[in-house]
Chain A
């Protein structure tokens, strides 16, 4: 209520409360704010804020969550000025290709200055979700001290911190409900950070420390799990044994999401049956992950819990086709499945047979760099899944080769794809049956899947693929391209043809300045463009920067490279102007 009072005092025009002005709202601000406050969708809020000044103000005062897809598109000052009452912030930092070592270390996206501003402007901040940001221990300690109501922290693909930072969060965030650390580069100091949760602390609902390598203090963990009765998500790391898992499950049968420790240990018959009954007592389990190292003979302990599972993440579990088939028989309700290609096509057939409700499938390669006759999944496995799982709308598929015909069959079986990410691991690999480019495969995808939002292409591809994309992919928002295309025309087709394009990331393609500059008008409506190892030059980038002053055109320069080439270009719209924290190797043009 304090915020409403503050606002009334700041009101300039007295008539805005009445229906004097033509077309203005006749609701008092408090009502308008309450109504608009119910809007959850970002897009709706964005639209609402454009209607008129009253609605803009009602929206900005009532907004509690903010999502910033590119931390450099706006500054903390601008953010806090517009939205005074934020409780939850989601920030994404580095370009996605930094996941694949294409962005040097110390590039930026440091959270610290944001936290300093938030400490002043959002003292009641409750949630922080970061992806691809640099987060130091200092920042985590500062966070823990500065926000008394802080509840949830989620760090995905971040770097720069250690278990010291986690200890600070554990010790000082008295109201913490969520500590979620995923796939970060973290310095695991093998210390007792878990013991830093005070004895009186009971509010935890989500705990995910699966990426840590070292042992954790199990005693502290067990006590923590015992006293946090609302714990819903628990994702353990490799160091947790089956016996320890059983003890934790015994304490927390209410769990909805579980990431196991290692699934390999010598168990006595007694221990085996205790583990089995622990799993059968978990009636609310809908998500299962972990496993890491697996003794297949113990997988049956999971069977009682499988019936309610909707998400199975076995992407770190090396199962073979028989093991997965035996398990999936019990998993009829699976909606999302992440697996390793050790299950091979036979395993995928089992998926098609037993999981008719499947909506999302991700198949990761066990050995991406294997040569010669490496196993894995192929076109026939892909088809098998599409035949059995007609609701499939999200696929990430790593394979060594593919055929145009197979992809066409898959999308015919499943025309509702929204996310289609096919990675043929050998760059420039043609259709292995016909030796033709894979153009027709992706042509089939865009022609058939009208709802397609995200596409990642691979294999031998000519400009024709891009012509198809530009012509048919009218809902496409994200496109990832590597080792594809024949000329600038390809990229132009996409820039001119895809009205909803927001993110375009390209590597190792023959697109040069003409292609880059054809998107002049387009880039302001996009979040970002990434081009690495293409044919773009510094002059081309300078021209772009000159013509479009509201874009940040950044070139990442490597030592010893040709000065006229722009090997890595990152273009993004920003209201914050050029970066103030750019390292020497990032040139803002």
Chain B
């Protein structure tokens, strides 16, 4: 695998040693990593790229990437690698994964975060008939009814069954209900998700038989 043409080319190939100097970044990882060299003879080395880009729209991306806890681990092995090398201290890699700026800024995660921006944490009480104490959950933690109901099913060890507009949760052992702003008890699932979390004051898990009444309204 050795490439002998290095000598023939007659270049100063020591200059190929890539040194990583991170200009002016406030990241504390810099010092540890700035002296890493990248050569094919080492058994493992770390490749970091976090140089800032100069364009305005891109710096927004970088800021967000550095601010939040998003990290990508990189390790670069050689043929006779040491498989036990642990992943290095994580560092943001510019332009990786290769997703276009537009998609990154308008993607699913972004949109959900945009919606959540208004209410950070919305804790509501959850009660269930027969349970000795109530629980609390953060509605903003979930993005869909499916996620919420799954969490409730796990928390209270019950099942809700299939929701349908006509029948509600008919046929299932339990049904989720909530108290809305007007003080009425509603069946969970009828209204759009966003509307639900903005109007839900508390949750209550009722027996399927009790919920039947709600479903017919």
Contacts and interface: CB of A to CB of B under 8 A. Distances in A.
A368 B108 contact: no
B1 A366 contact: no
Given A316-B108, A320-B144, A426-B72, A533 B100 contact: no
Contacts of B185: none
A487 B2 CA distance: 8
A184 to B, nearest CB: 8
Interface stretch (B6-14, B121-129, B151-159): B6-14
A364 B99 contact: yes
B38 A535 contact: yes
A530 B140 CA distance: 44
A297 B2 CA distance: 61
Contact of B104 (A368, A460, A508): A368
B11 A537 contact: yes
Contacts of A514: 3, 5-6, 9
A101 interface: yes
A560 interface: yes
Contacts of A370: 70
Given A185-B57, A428-B77, A342 B15 contact: no
A46 interface: no
A536 B195 CA distance: 56
How would you classify the secondary structure of chain A's contact residues: helix, strand, loop or mixed? Answer: loop
B23 interface: yes
B15 A564 contact: yes
A106 B56 CA distance: 11
Contact of B192 (A265, A437, A487): A265
Nearest to A264: B192
B83 interface: yes
A40 B68 CA distance: 51
A270 to B, nearest CB: 15
A434 to B, nearest CB: 11
B40 A508 contact: no
B18 A565 contact: yes
Contacts of A185: 57, 101-102
Nearest to A341: B108
Interface in A541-581: 543, 558-562, 564-565
B83 to A, nearest CB: 6
Contacts of A315: 103
Contacts of A564: 12, 15
Interface residues of B, number: 72
B104 A371 contact: no
A101 B16 contact: no
A104 interface: yes
A487 B3 contact: yes
A261 interface: no
Contacts of A462: 78-79
Interface stretch (B45-53, B170-178, B200-208): B45-53
Contacts of B193: 264, 295
B215 interface: no
Contact of A512 (B16, B76, B112): B16
B58 A101 contact: yes
Contacts of B95: 97, 100-102, 507
Contacts of A512: 13, 16
A305 B96 CA distance: 37
Given A99-B98, A318-B111, A320-B146, A486 B103 contact: no
Nearest to A320: B146
Interface in A507-545: 507-508, 510, 512-514, 517-518, 533, 535-537, 539-540, 543
A159 B191 CA distance: 39
Contacts, number: 193
A364 B104 CA distance: 10
Interface string B92-135: 01111111111110111101100100000000000000000000
A296 interface: yes
Contact of B54 (A105, A340, A437, A489): A105
A513 B71 contact: no
Contact of B97 (A342, A368, A536, A558): A368
Given A99-B98, A367-B109, A486-B40, A559 B55 contact: no
Contacts of B69: 371
B100 A100 contact: yes
A365 interface: yes
A513 B76 contact: no
Contacts of B29: none
Interface string A486-516: 1111001000000000000001101011100
A41 B60 CA distance: 42
Contact of B111 (A159, A292, A423): A292
Given A366-B108, A514-B3, A560-B23, A427 B53 contact: no
Contacts of B94: 100-102
Interface in A254-313: 264-266, 292-293, 295-297
A104 B53 contact: yes
Contacts of B19: 562
A370 B109 CA distance: 10
A322 interface: yes
A101 B98 contact: no
Given A371-B70, A535-B38, 19 more contacts: A97-B95, A99-B100, A99-B101, A100-B95, A104-B54, A340-B107, A342-B108, A368-B99, A423-B97, A428-B75, A428-B76, A428-B77, A460-B77, A482-B96, A483-B47, A489-B3, A510-B40, A513-B9, A537-B16
12 contacts: A99-B100, A101-B53, A105-B56, A264-B193, A295-B193, A297-B189, A370-B70, A427-B73, A427-B93, A483-B76, A486-B40, A487-B3
Interface of A: 97, 99-102, 104-106, 157, 159, 183-185, 211, 264-266, 292-293, 295-297, 315-318, 320, 322, 340, 342, 364-371, 398, 423, 425-428, 435, 437, 460, 462-463, 480, 482-483, 486-489, 492, 507-508, 510, 512-514, 517-518, 533, 535-537, 539-540, 543, 558-562, 564-565
Interface of B: 1-3, 5-6, 9, 11-13, 15-16, 18-19, 21, 23, 38, 40, 47, 49, 51, 53-58, 61-62, 65, 68-79, 83, 93-104, 106-109, 111-112, 115, 143-146, 165, 189, 191-195
Nearest 9 A/B pairs, CB to CB = A105-B55, A100-B95, A369-B70, A366-B108, A318-B108, A295-B192, A535-B16, A183-B102, A560-B23
